[in-house]
């Protein structure tokens, strides 16, 4: 029995909540994963999973074994990666989470150079604007933008984005140009459900801070949808500069309230404090950090 293979199958089933999802993640068949978990249970002499028509759940023995299996896999990955790391090589799959628009615009274009440098490395990119538990979602790491307060995460800052207030020329021609943050109460403000600040936008000028409650007829849970709404002339939005870099440069989107800056947001890679960080994950983090340092949209230099 290949214990590591069986450990990995069990961990993915536990994290993803089913055999079919685990099989897709492992690029194998559902019967193969089911057989590996059954063989592992037989070897241990204990049932690890409750199986039902609606999915699987961990038994008490399964909860205990899950932590031990993760530690064993992390240790094995570290041991296998140590030799390659000495030669500057890493291998294996990194399951990386990222916000939807940020991943599409700024992560995917930077992956070819990384994969060319490390032929044994592969990336499973999980895009979405809702953040869950890294371990439960089977992620090795995730990119978080903004303040993160989860004590179960280890954070490394790899960039910083300032934010700007934007609208399209067509919208401004209809609604007028706001001169002060307080003027936004009379505008159609586009709202992104992923913001921790909700429907209150903050602006700073010198030592002065203004908080403005905003409203509008459009709200979305995906940053890509709000981006499209801005380009369609539906209203005003406070956006990270990386979301509209080319459009701001071309004039397709106009920046407003230039003297009033919304607070900048850190760009961070988060890993679980419960797991070791394998060399392959460190290689991805180092690559993105080096790339972002060269991009004025992803540092504290803004658009200037």
Q: Which of 44, 8, 38 is nearest to 23 (CA)?
A: 8
CA–CA separation, 74 vs 124, rounded Å?
18
pLDDT at res. 171:
98
pLDDT at 201: 94
Predicted model pTM: 0.73
Q: Which residues contact 107 (CB under 8 A, 6 or more apart)?
A: 96, 98, 125, 143, 288
Residue with tokens 């950090």: 289
220 within 8 A of 131, measured Cβ to Cβ: no
pLDDT at position 22: 85
Q: Which pLDDT belongs to residue 69?
A: 86
Judging by DSSP bridges, how do beta strands 141-145 and 92-98 pair with one another?
parallel
Say if residue 122 is exposed, middle or buried (CB neighbours under 10 Å; 0-12, 13-18, 19+).
Answer: middle
pLDDT of residue 54: 77
CA-based nearest residue to 97, from 138, 66, 67: 138
Q: Along the 304 residues of the chain, how does pLDDT read in single tens digits?
A: 578 888 888 888 888 888 888 888 788 899 999 999 999 988 989 899 988 877 788 999 988 888 888 878 877 766 665 555 555 678 888 999 999 999 999 999 999 999 999 999 999 999 988 776 676 677 889 999 988 888 888 899 999 988 999 999 999 999 999 999 999 999 999 999 877 677 899 999 988 999 999 999 999 999 899 999 999 999 999 999 999 999 999 999 999 999 999 999 999 999 987 677 888 999 999 999 999 999 988 886 444 3
Q: What pLDDT does 304 receive?
A: 38
Specify the pLDDT at position 23: 87
């Amino acid at each position: 029995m290949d214990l590591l293979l069986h450990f990995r199958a069990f961990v993915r089933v536990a994290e993803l909540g089913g055999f079919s999802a685990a099989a897709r993640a492992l690029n194998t068949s559902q019967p193969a994963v089911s057989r590996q978990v059954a063989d592992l249970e037989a070897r241990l002499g204990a049932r690890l999973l409750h199986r039902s028509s609606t999915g699987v759940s961990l038994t008490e023995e399964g909860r205990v074994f899950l932590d031990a299996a993760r530690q064993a896999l992390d240790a094995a990955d570290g041991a296998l990666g140590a030799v390659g790391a000495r030669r500057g090589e890493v291998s294996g799959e990194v399951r990386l989470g990222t916000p939807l628009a940020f991943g599409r615009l700024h992560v995917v274009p930077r992956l070819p150079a990384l994969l060319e440098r490390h032929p044994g490395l592969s990336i499973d990119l999980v895009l979405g604007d809702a953040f869950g538990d890294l371990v439960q979602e089977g992620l090795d790491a995730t990119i978080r933008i903004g303040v993160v307060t989860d004590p179960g995460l280890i954070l490394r800052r790899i960039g910083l984005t300032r934010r700007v207030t934007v609208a399209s020329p067509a919208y401004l021609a209809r609604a007028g140009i706001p001169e002060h943050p307080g003027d936004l109460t009379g505008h159609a403000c586009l709202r992104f459900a992923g913001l921790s600040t909700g429907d209150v936008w903050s602006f700073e000028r010198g030592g002065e801070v203004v908080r403005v409650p905003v409203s509008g007829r459009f709200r979305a849970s995906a940053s890509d949808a709000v981006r499209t709404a801005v380009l369609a002339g539906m209203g005003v939005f406070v956006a990270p500069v990386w979301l509209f870099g080319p459009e701001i440069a071309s004039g397709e989107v106009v920046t407003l309230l230039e003297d009033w800056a919304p607070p900048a947001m850190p760009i961070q890679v988060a890993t679980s404090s419960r797991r070791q960080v394998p060399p392959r994950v460190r290689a991805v983090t180092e690559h993105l950090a080096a790339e972002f340092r060269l991009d004025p949209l992803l540092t504290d230099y803004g658009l200037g």
